[in-house]
């Protein structure tokens, strides 16, 4: 986590399926609300950690399907694989540690003796994780017997039941909680222990996240029976753990507010964006706000288009330039004029825009360079642009917002559109 020079303000460690991602919400609204909040208010000085049961294969698949942010750290395969950054560089120390008292061959031999266990797909069988399906009624008995047999063969394992169907077998030292404790230790050694950590989950494999000292926890509203039961038996009197009244990512936002961990109003919940003024310059917030406007504009959700356009023009420098990913240059004012043509063109088309990894850096007393990824999704198709924006606070007051001086975009590999249906920004 080299980009952080000191302790992160907040570290969110969140499960994905049915926690960050609501599979019952085809609009992905709570996830998009969380994204806007994170990018505008937390990204620059906080840490986002995804902790999922999925293997790298299924994790990457989910990222293609859903409007997800890029985490700083990705913990996969139920806390058995830890990776860092965009390139997902594996933590070799963790792999070595997990080899203790673990022998996958013995696990296979013993599990094959249980007709109640059905093996999960090949992608979900990992070096330090063996995964099966087992019916709810059989789970308890199978776990007990299997555990005894593995102990008698000299292994020290952990068996976890999740979602009322999945059974994972891991080394004792693995799991989502152990992986979090390991990260805390590593961050502490580097002098970067987070000021606050919030763990978020919905199912059995998330339970141990809530056992790590000094961690706030939220079980989202839609938490599974096995997690709620664990809570009732083990953590009922712990004031640091709540059962949210909201589903999935909305429950995470609720917990940020409940535990007073920082700002908890997402720009997506602000209807009139032109009305939400700040008393200080905030480039990340400006970027998030602009792309929300852009989405609403194309979805035909902007109330006063004319007023909006003239406001927009007033925050673009007359000499400002936009460099399109194709290399074509245009003045920013021309671009604003052109916006008229795409007003409402994505109405009823499940169109969404979100920004990811918004990193502003101040280059002199009144200028910032903001780098980020802008993503657009229409139906199932995602398209991304690496974007660099230069904004300036020269001759403006904070309440007027920053002046956009330069915008430059490049297609993100593999998402170049086939048609020139792209417009601007």
Binding site for ligand GLC (CB under 6 A): 53-54, 58, 78, 120, 124, 131, 162, 166, 168, 205
Question: How many Å apart are CA 67 and CA 53, to the nearest integer?
Answer: 19
Query: Which of Mg ion, ligand GLC, none does residue 18 bind to, with CB < 5 to 8 Å depending on kind?
Result: Mg ion
For 155, phi and psi rounded to 5 degrees? -95, 155
CB of 238 to ligand GLC, least distance (A): 23
Question: How many Å apart are CA 209 and CA 218, to the nearest integer?
Answer: 10
Query: Which of ligand GLC, Mg ion, none does residue 202 bind to, with CB < 5 to 8 Å depending on kind?
Result: Mg ion
| Residue 226 near Mg ion by CB under 5 A | no
Q: Which is nearer to ligand GLC, 200 or 405 (CB)?
A: 200
CB of 102 to ligand GLC, least distance (A): 17
Number of Cβ within a 10 Å radius of residue 1 = 16
Q: Which is nearer to ligand GLC, 39 or 166 (CB)?
A: 166
CB 215, CB 209: distance < 8 Å: yes
Q: Which is nearer to ligand GLC, 166 or 356 (CB)?
A: 166
CB of 241 to Mg ion, least distance (A): 16
Query: Which of Mg ion, ligand GLC, none does residue 266 bind to, with CB < 5 to 8 Å depending on kind?
Result: none
For 137, phi and psi rounded to 5 degrees? -65, -30
Q: Which is nearer to ligand GLC, 13 or 292 (CB)?
A: 13
DSSP string, 69-133: PPPSEEEETTTTEEEETTTTEE-HHHHHHHTTT--HHHHHHHHTT-TT-EE--GGG-BTTBEEEE
| Residue 15 near Mg ion by CB under 5 A | yes
188-207 residues near Mg ion, rule: CB under 5 A:
202-203
For 71, phi and psi rounded to 5 degrees? -80, 160
Q: Which is nearer to ligand GLC, 200 or 402 (CB)?
A: 200
| Residue 22 near Mg ion by CB under 5 A | no
Query: Which of Mg ion, ligand GLC, none does residue 15 bind to, with CB < 5 to 8 Å depending on kind?
Result: Mg ion
Q: Which residue's Cβ lies closest to ligand GLC? A: 53
Q: Quote the strand ranges of 202-315, DSSP E.
A: 215-219, 241-243
Q: 20-31 burial, b if ≥16 CB within 10 A, otherwise e?
A: bbbeeeeebbbb
Counting every residue, how long is the chain?
Answer: 425
Q: In a 3-state reduction of DSSP, which class is residue 210?
A: helix
Q: Which is nearer to ligand GLC, 176 or 352 (CB)?
A: 176
Query: Which of Mg ion, ligand GLC, none does residue 295 bind to, with CB < 5 to 8 Å depending on kind?
Result: none
Query: Which of Mg ion, ligand GLC, none does residue 166 bind to, with CB < 5 to 8 Å depending on kind?
Result: ligand GLC
Q: Kind of pairing, strands 329-331 and 316-323? A: antiparallel
For Mg ion, the binding residues (CB under 5 A) are: 15, 17-18, 202-203
């Amino acid at each position: 986590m080299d980009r952080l020079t000191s302790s992160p303000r907040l570290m969110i460690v969140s499960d994905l399926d049915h926690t960050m991602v609501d599979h019952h919400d085809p609009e992905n609204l709570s996830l998009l609300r969380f994204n806007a909040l994170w990018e505008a208010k937390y990204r620059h000085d906080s840490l986002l950690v995804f902790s999922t049961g999925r293997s790298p294969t299924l994790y990457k698949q989910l990222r293609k399907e859903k409007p997800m942010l890029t985490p700083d750290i990705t913990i996969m395969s139920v806390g058995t694989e830890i990776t860092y950054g965009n390139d997902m560089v594996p933590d070799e120390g963790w792999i070595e540690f997990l080899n203790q008292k673990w022998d996958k061959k013995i696990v296979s031999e013993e599990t094959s003796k249980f007709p109640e266990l059905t093996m999960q797909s090949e992608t979900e069988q990992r070096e330090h994780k063996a995964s099966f399906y087992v019916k709810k009624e059989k789970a308890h008995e199978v776990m007990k017997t299997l555990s005894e047999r593995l102990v008698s063969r000299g292994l020290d394992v952990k068996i976890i039941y999740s979602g009322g169907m999945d059974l994972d077998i891991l080394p004792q030292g693995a799991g989502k909680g152990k992986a979090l404790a390991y990260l805390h230790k590593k961050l502490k050694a580097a002098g970067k222990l987070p000021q606050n950590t919030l763990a978020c989950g919905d199912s059995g494999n998330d339970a141990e996240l809530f056992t790590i000292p000094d961690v706030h926890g939220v079980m989202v509203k839609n938490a599974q029976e096995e997690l709620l039961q664990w809570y009732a038996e083990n953590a009922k009197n712990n004031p640091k753990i709540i059962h949210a009244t909201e589903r999935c990512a909305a429950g995470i936002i609720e917990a940020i507010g409940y535990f007073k961990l920082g700002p908890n109003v997402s720009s997506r919940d602000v209807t009139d964006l032109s009305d939400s003024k700040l008393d200080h310059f905030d480039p990340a917030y400006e970027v998030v706000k602009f792309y929300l406007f852009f989405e609403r504009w194309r979805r035909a959700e902007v109330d006063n288009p004319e007023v909006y356009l003239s406001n927009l023009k007033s925050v673009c420098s007359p000499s400002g330039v936009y460099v399109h990913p194709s290399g074509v240059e245009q003045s920013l004012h021309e671009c604003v004029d052109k916006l008229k043509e795409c007003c409402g063109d994505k109405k009823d088309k499940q169109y969404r825009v979100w920004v990811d990894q918004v990193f502003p850096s101040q280059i002199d007393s009144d200028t910032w360079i903001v780098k980020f990824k802008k993503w657009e999704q229409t139906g199932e198709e995602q398209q991304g642009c690496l974007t660099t924006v230069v904004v300036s606070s020269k001759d403006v007051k904070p309440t007027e917002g920053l002046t956009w001086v330069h915008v430059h975009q490049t297609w993100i590999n593999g998402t170049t559109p086939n048609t020139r249906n792209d417009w601007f920004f």
